[in-house]
Amino acid sequence: MIPLLREIRPDPIVEVHPETAKKHGIEDGQWIYIESPRGRIKQRAKLYDGIDPKVITSEHGWWFPEIKDPGHGWEISNANILTDNAFETCDPNMGSTNVRVCLCNIFPCENE
């Protein structure tokens, strides 16, 4: 981890349309849970009106080198938890996940 880069981007950000955020009671900068049938992660909401109100844009690849557990908090904000990683649905050649989109629900973190 490069500390000065972490200073500039400390948290994973999920873009949410302001109308959608209002509907779900989410405020700008609030930690929110993103949930799919496969699991739940949390990221920080950034209200952004440049996307369709029906979708959110979550950042992928997040883990936390500063958390000193062996897992470095890999399961806190990792978008791979939300996608379908089943053997049957992955690309037979590469094994990569078939789509980068999935149905999800969002709601604010009560304790943050």
Partner 1 sequence: MEKISLHIFEEDCNGCHACEIACKQEHGLGVGPRLIRVIEKSPLFIPVYCHHCDDFPCGDVCPVEAITRDKHGIVLINEELCTGCEACVEACPYEAMQYDEDRELAVKCDLCHERLEMGAAPACSLACPAHCIAWGDPKDFSN
47 forms part of the interface with partner 1 (CB under 8 A): yes
15 within 8 A of 51, measured Cβ to Cβ: yes
* Distance separating alpha carbons of residues 22 and 4, to the nearest angstrom: 33
48 forms part of the interface with partner 1 (CB under 8 A): yes
1 forms part of the interface with partner 1 (CB under 8 A): no
Q: Are strands 56-58 and 105-108 parallel, antiparallel or unpaired?
A: unpaired
Give the x/- contact pattern for partner 1 in 74-103, rule: CB under 8 A: ------------------------------
66 forms part of the interface with partner 1 (CB under 8 A): no
DSSP secondary structure letter of residue 7: H
